[in-house]
Structures are given as C-alpha cells and as structure tokens.
Amino acid sequence: MKTIPLEEPAAVRSLLALAQVQRLRAFRALVVAGAKGLTPGTMAERLGVAPSALSFHLKELAHAGMVSSEPRGRNLIYRANFDQMNALLGYLTEHCCQGEACAVEAVCAVC
C-alpha cells in the first residue's frame, strides 16, 4: 500500500488532535476496533468518559482527519482513519536514519 504524502499543516492538525489524553485513548480504542468501528456509547463506557465530553473529542479527531463516522440507524459508527494514521507516521519517519535502511516500519499491517 502506498502512503499518501502528508503536508506539514495536516501533520500539525493530526498531532494536535492526538495531544490530549482522552482523544488519544479514543483514537487507540478505534485502532483496536479496526474496520468494525465503535459507537460513541460503547467508547464512552469503555473509556469511562462522559458521552458529551467524548462527543467533543471525537469532533476534534474528525476535524483533523484522524477518524471518520458513518450513520447506522440511530447510531454513528466511528472508525480510525488508517490512511491518515499511516500518512502521519510516514511524515514523521520520512527521512529517518538519513536515508539509510533502518528498523522503522511505518505501515499498519492490517490496513
């Protein structure tokens, strides 16, 4: 899979969105959930956070492109945006080890 290059402003938005404990936890929960995703109610319960607070954090993650949502009946299903995650990892490691081979693998194996 080819990772789409990420521009600096998008990288900064992504890093800012992840630079908060509850948002980072929510994103990690969505990564673990994979393609199935999670409803906000399930996430709030698992993370021990108020649904209204989680809603705010999910909106910030969505604005940064780190998550997506899809309506399913009366619920929303949130999913991690693995393309964006891999693009951010690629941006951070683009010139790793001054172009020499190294041990960094910047691609999610299941994405």
- Note whether residue 93 is domain-resident: yes
pLDDT at residue 33 greater than cutoff 70: yes
What pLDDT is attached to residue 10?
95
Residue 27 to residue 32: CA distance in whole angstroms: 9
Which of the two residues, 93 and 10, has the higher pLDDT score?
10
CA triple 81-105-93, angle to 5 deg: 80
CA triple 58-104-101, angle to 5 deg: 150
- Note whether residue 105 is domain-resident: no
- Note whether residue 66 is domain-resident: yes
- Note whether residue 55 is domain-resident: yes
What pLDDT is attached to residue 47?
96
Range of the domain at 91: 8-99
What pLDDT is attached to residue 97?
75
Query: How many domains are there within the chain?
Result: 1
- Note whether residue 107 is domain-resident: no
Q: Which residues of 10-26 are buried (b: 16+ CB within 10 A; e: fewer)?
A: bbebbeebbeeebbebb
Closest by CA to 30, choosing from 46, 15, 11, is 46
In this predicted model, what pLDDT tens digit does every residue of 53-103 receive, in sequence order?
999 999 999 999 999 999 999 999 999 999 999 999 989 888 777 767 666
pTM over cut 0.95: no
26: confidence class by pLDDT, cuts 50, 70, 90 = very high
- Note whether residue 104 is domain-resident: no
- Note whether residue 12 is domain-resident: yes
Closest by CA to 61, choosing from 74, 72, 76, is 76
- Note whether residue 67 is domain-resident: yes
Residue 62 belongs to domain with CATH number: 1.10.10.10
